[in-house]
Structure 1
Amino acid sequence: MSESQSHNWDLPDPFILPITVREEDTDRLGHANNVVYVRWMEDVSWAHIESLGMTWALHEETGKAMAITHTEVDYLLSANAGDELVLGTWLTDWDGRFRSARQFQLIRVADGKTLLRGLSIHACVDMKSQRPSRAPKAFAEILSGALVPGGRGLPL
């Protein structure tokens, strides 16, 4: 059974990043700091789009990038130093022009409990001006081809 099949994922076939919580990831309360969870979400997002062919080289070639405009994080349970985790992500919406949505779910391997659920909204921007810009055809093809049905979409 693969890692993606061995957990109770919210959606099928997540892209997965395995994580071991390090001492330096924890805060004064002794559990993983909220900022670290957000960093992990960014790490899995980049790894996912790069695996789909949306590499940094493609970003530089097109002069476009998908920038986060909104993030929601529900911290459900804490993680502690030494915990083995798996962070899954899915592309769940793409408007075909500018905006995309991505969901996250963080699971502790030892007990299968979900520690976090999240959503991020991204907008295509021109890398020089930092202004909104229509996504290049290459981005549109990659994002369209990677959508997972049944997830949360873009807000109206």
Structure 2
Amino acid sequence: MTDTHALNWDLPAPFTLEITVQPDDTDRLGHANNVVYIRWLEEVSWAHIESLGMTWALHEETGKAMAITHTDVDYLMSANAGDELVLGTWLTDWDGRFRSARQFQLIRPSDGKTLLRGLSTHACVDLKSQRPSRAPQAFVDILSGAQVPGGRGLTR
């Protein structure tokens, strides 16, 4: 178990997920494949919002979800099979109605190096129509309480 408080995070108090790079996560170049990094971003995002009470049951109950509209990823260094990593995330922007953003930082604790930084933006959608929709009050309450100031926000 990694002491995540000792890592050099870009923002305070990230929600974290510990990852061990598996041999199946690597590509022909011998490092973690870009698709795997995206999967990890999705995994930490779901774990984070579920920890805040924004469970899939709540999504089904409200008929709404936050869908990714854009993802920027800066791959700074490679990860290899066997590497122990910690992926942090923060909700960094929320317009109170429709759009949100979250940031990511992936650190290898063995050397303290940041391997990845990312930003994803999201829009609330209706689960049936898949069309944009105003967020239900339950989402507003959860996302408003979880936003971390100082992030890169919704800018591109």
Q: Normalising by structure 2, what TM-score?
A: 0.97
Question: RMSD value over aligned CA atoms?
Answer: 1.0
Counterpart position of 1:97: 97
State how 1:22-61 maps to structure 2 within 5 Å: 22-61=22-61
State how 1:135-146 maps to structure 2 within 5 Å: 135-146=135-146
Counterpart position of 1:67: 67
SS of the counterpart of 1:5?
helix
SS of the counterpart of 2:58?
helix
Deviation at 1:110, TM superposition (A): 0.7
**Residues 81-122 of structure 1, C-alpha deviation per residue, up to 9 Å, x if partnerless?**
000000000000000100000000000011010000000000
Q: Which runs of 5+ in 2 are unaligned?
A: none
- 1:69 and 1:120 in contact (8 A); partners too: yes
Deviation at 1:4, TM superposition (A): 3.0
Task: Note if 1:20 corresponds to 2:20.
Answer: yes
- 1:101 and 1:154 in contact (8 A); partners too: yes
Counterpart position of 1:8: 8
Q: For 2:44 and 2:85, how far apart are their aligned partners in 1?
A: 13
Deviation at 1:144, TM superposition (A): 0.3
Q: For 2:78 and 2:153, how far apart are their aligned partners in 1?
A: 27
Q: Which runs of 5+ in 1 are unaligned?
A: none
Q: For 1:139 and 1:27, how far apart are their aligned partners in 2?
A: 38
Moved over 4 A (4+): none
Counterpart position of 1:130: 130
How many correspondences in the alignment? 155
Corresponding letter in the other structure for 2:57: A
